[in-house]
Homo-oligomer: A and B are copies of this chain.
């Protein structure tokens, strides 16, 4: 049957949101089309009324997930120390233990590097926006700032990836703790 336009749009958004969560948890190839559609309350057959292919869904889901990270950076940019304001909640146990709700740079960067242009372009664009947001509106020493921003982001992404990979709770905690110290953040 034909459905009201707004309900269809709402379902479309829900598919993207569920995919963004599941792909961050299990990787692009770790969650199936049928699984995503089921999580969105639909059957898999309807998928191709919403997306041209699974790759198109992956691109939309990645964009959605990174949008969330850019939003956090925008809010952090209003603080006195934007980088610290962004980094502090990033290096938390909550973020480590809930990849499905967290930053897609950490959970999907390696996956992205193995995918095609449609996905990698999304990543590059959103990463550029993230760096720009964290540099603040007007700075003079742009070069130095970009190095601080990119260096700090690298530390965040690497520390979180390592903390999640390690199969030893104490070591995982220590990685967060030492990365926080390294960046000059308060201990957890």
Contact = CB atoms under 8 A, between A and B. Distances in A.
Contact of A120 (B111, B127, B150, B166): B166
Contacts of A183: 151
A26 B111 CA distance: 9
A105 B159 CA distance: 11
A26 to B, nearest CB: 6
Nearest to A167: B120
B167 A150 contact: no
Assign chain A's interface to a size class.
35 or more
A33 interface: no
A30 B29 CA distance: 9
Nearest to A116: B167
A153 B179 CA distance: 9
Given A124-B165, A157-B157, 7 more contacts: A109-B165, A123-B165, A147-B182, A150-B182, A151-B182, A153-B162, A158-B158
